[in-house]
């Protein structure tokens, strides 16, 4: 019956609260990683992380329960299960912040290319920040040269732009996995920047040329058809007139 809620309804109800929780989670996580908090402050930030984790876990279980067909959803969302279940993938929980970002963007409602630019700038900034946090947590105290959030941010920007000086590099396995994500993020960033510029230049150049040589449009075509129809009616009348 109509009493049963669907997965879509669940999504609509929980999207914004979960996005908010993701931002809170990001702040708590930042606080913990950057500030190396001790005592009460650390407890508070851990409480927020646990609230975030609990909310994501409940969301996973409810989404799975509401999904139709359930097994297909399970197979296509194994990554969600891994993020919730494996403590080592904790940084990936920050990806929920990305969903907050995507939600915001969907409600911005601008032109397609404008949205691409917002997505590239915001996505790159978020990726750099989250990767820096995760990198700092992974590398801190393991003998590498990434020991402050400043080092981590510097390293992340050197990596995402594919400059890669090599003055600061990760030495742990998790640190290197985070680096790999940033590197491919960098290739994607170059791709998006270039492609958006290319699209814009192609359009501007073709506009410059269309002033000279304009392609026929559907509107002009309709004008022509109207002309021919008028001609036809005139001919019909002319064919009737001599009979009188």
The rounded distance, in Å, linking the Cα atoms of 92 and 83 is: 6
Binding mask 39-68 for a copy of itself (x = CB under 8 A): ------------------------------
Q: Does 223 interact with a copy of itself (rule: CB under 8 A)?
A: yes
Q: Does 191 interact with a copy of itself (rule: CB under 8 A)?
A: yes
Q: Does 8 interact with a copy of itself (rule: CB under 8 A)?
A: no
Q: How many CA atoms lie within 13 A of 51 on its CB side?
A: 18
Q: Does 187 interact with a copy of itself (rule: CB under 8 A)?
A: yes
- How is residue 9 written in tokens? 């309804």
- Taking CB under 8 A as the criterion, the residue among 4, 39, 111, 141 binding a copy of itself is 111
Region binding a copy of itself by CB under 8 A among candidate stretches 21-29, 85-93, 96-104, 107-115:
107-115
- How is residue 216 written in tokens? 């026929």
Q: Does 202 interact with a copy of itself (rule: CB under 8 A)?
A: yes
* CA separation, residue 82 to residues 49, 58, 76, 137, 192 (Å): 17, 14, 12, 19, 29
The rounded distance, in Å, linking the Cα atoms of 52 and 241 is: 85
Nearest to 63, CA basis, from 6, 3, 2? 6
Q: How many residues bind a copy of itself (CB under 8 A)?
A: 70
Report the residue number, 22 or 134, with the smaller CB distance to a copy of itself.
134
Q: Does 169 interact with a copy of itself (rule: CB under 8 A)?
A: yes
- The residues in 113-142 that bind a copy of itself, with binding defined as CB under 8 A, are 113, 116
* Residue 41: CB minimum distance to a copy of itself, A: 26
The rounded distance, in Å, linking the Cα atoms of 50 and 72 is: 29
> From the CB of residue 71, how many other CB atoms can be counted at a distance below 10 Å?
9
Report the residue number, 43 or 203, with the smaller CB distance to a copy of itself.
203
- Taking CB under 8 A as the criterion, the residue among 129, 131, 159, 178 binding a copy of itself is 159
Q: Does 235 interact with a copy of itself (rule: CB under 8 A)?
A: yes
**What DSSP string runs through 21-64?**
HHHHHHHHHHHHHHH---HHHHHHHHHHHHHHHHHHHHHHHHHH
Which residues are at the interface with a copy of itself (CB under 8 A)? 111-113, 116, 150, 154, 157-159, 161-167, 169, 173, 176, 180, 183-184, 186-205, 208, 213-221, 223-225, 227-232, 234-239, 241-243
């Amino acid at each position: 019956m109509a009493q049963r809620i669907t997965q879509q309804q669940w999504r609509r109800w929980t999207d914004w609260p979960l996005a908010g929780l993701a931002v809170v989670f990001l702040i708590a996580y930042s606080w913990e990683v950057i500030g190396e908090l001790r005592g009460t402050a650390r407890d508070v930030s851990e409480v927020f992380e646990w609230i975030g984790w609990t909310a994501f876990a409940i969301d996973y279980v409810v989404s799975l329960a509401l999904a139709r067909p359930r097994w297909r959803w399970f197979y296509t969302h194994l990554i969600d299960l891994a993020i919730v279940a494996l403590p080592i993938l904790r940084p990936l929980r920050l990806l929920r912040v990305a969903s907050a970002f995507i939600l915001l963007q969907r409600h911005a409602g601008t032109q397609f290319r404008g949205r691409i630019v917002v997505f590239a700038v915001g996505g790159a900034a978020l990726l750099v920040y989250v990767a820096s946090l995760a990198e700092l947590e992974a590398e801190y105290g393991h003998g590498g040269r990434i020991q402050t959030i400043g080092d981590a941010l510097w390293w992340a920007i050197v990596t995402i732009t594919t400059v890669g000086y090599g003055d600061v590099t990760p030495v742990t396995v998790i640190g290197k996995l985070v680096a790999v994500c940033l590197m491919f993020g960098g290739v994607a960033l170059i791709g998006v920047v270039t492609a958006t510029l290319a699209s814009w230049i192609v359009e501007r150049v073709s506009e410059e040329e269309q002033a000279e040589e304009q392609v026929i449009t559907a509107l002009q075509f309709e004008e022509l058809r109207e002309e021919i129809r008028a001609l036809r009616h005139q001919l019909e009348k002319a064919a009737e007139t001599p009979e009188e």
